[in-house]
A and B are shown apart, each in its own frame.
Chain A
């Protein structure tokens, strides 16, 4: 699956109402570690059908990052059935992200 752009408008339908787990990647264009992480996130999105990946640009979506208490990026938040089921802050390798998705 391709990475979906998350916004305040589609967050409810794409993330909170999703039938499958959703990994939300909070990031920004100016954030170096976020850019290094991006290809890994895209790879995971392509390879996994059981999880949806949503990318939220914190500069465009300040209210969303505030609502989910995101104060440092990159920040990955896993949602299951509309609830937060895991979180990881900072640059991580692919295995660690797969663990976050699989382990919760």
Chain B
């Protein structure tokens, strides 16, 4: 049995591990993929206090090494559920079960899928969820970006420097993202904005060759493209824990400022928590708060 199990080795979970270990609690981090979370996808972090510039990989590696040096243990399995046994909790994975006095859920978020047929099959064959990761594969090719928020606008601007042509497809007639980015996009000769439209078909053989776009009137149009960047938001990774924590309408964990949930001894930290700002600095802050609360909870338990 561990004192604290942390689910997710992103910035929130790793910071929670630092605080848990510094309070001398035995700590297991259960991570589905590899340490670091979303941030390992970006080469440039320029808004985290102290470091003027650091890559996501360096940030995550330093943070991970810090937790290992403090004695946190890691296993790389996906947590599929949490059982509340009262004074202890059991975290279930496909291979095993792990018991602890307290659990911190720091599972972050994943890219939202478009929901078009063939999407999974052609992910990595032209369909992508990260322009800064995969953009260079489409040098001097035509691509499309789907979405209406800041990520979509920034992805379109980023791809305008790399690709020959960028279609920006948005289902409404106005963007949610920043006005200045929209006007910068409109100045780019190789960017074409397609409003009131959705992607209704992928045209592909072994790789993406094009898409079919349908507007609100039902008119369709085929675009010959090689890359489709999906930027339609993120979804919190809470679906395995809906019974043990309360989720809001969008699937985010309902919690107090202290990262407490409806279940005693279960805490949440990071991007999967309902809050306004989802950044590294708020994720790490949540990690510190949740671990401190978990330590306090354990010291009040009589086991």
Residues of A within 8 A of B (CB): 30-33, 35-37, 40, 65, 69-73, 75, 87, 89-95
What are 30 inter-chain pairs, A to B, with CB distance below 8 A? A31-B133, A32-B40, A32-B41, A32-B43, A32-B57, A32-B60, A33-B36, A33-B41, A35-B57, A36-B34, A36-B35, A36-B57, A36-B60, A69-B206, A69-B207, A71-B124, A71-B126, A71-B128, A71-B208, A72-B124, A72-B128, A75-B124, A90-B123, A90-B124, A92-B34, A93-B31, A93-B32, A93-B76, A95-B77, A95-B95
CB atoms of B40 and A36 under 8 A apart: yes
Question: Is B188 part of the binding interface, using a Cβ–Cβ cutoff of 8 Å?
Answer: no
Which 5 residue pairs are nearest across A and B when measured between Cβ atoms? A89-B124, A32-B40, A32-B57, A72-B124, A93-B76
A33 to B133, CA, bound (A): 10
CB atoms of A32 and B124 under 8 A apart: no
Interface size on B, residues (CB 8 A): 33
CB atoms of B34 and A37 under 8 A apart: yes
Name which of B34, B60, B227 has the most chain A CB atoms within 10 A of its CB: B34
Contact residue among B40, B77, B124, B138 (Cβ-Cβ distance under 8 Å from A70): B124
A32 to B43, CA, bound (A): 8
Question: Is B220 part of the binding interface, using a Cβ–Cβ cutoff of 8 Å?
Answer: no
- Quick one: closest A residue to B75, CB to CB? A93
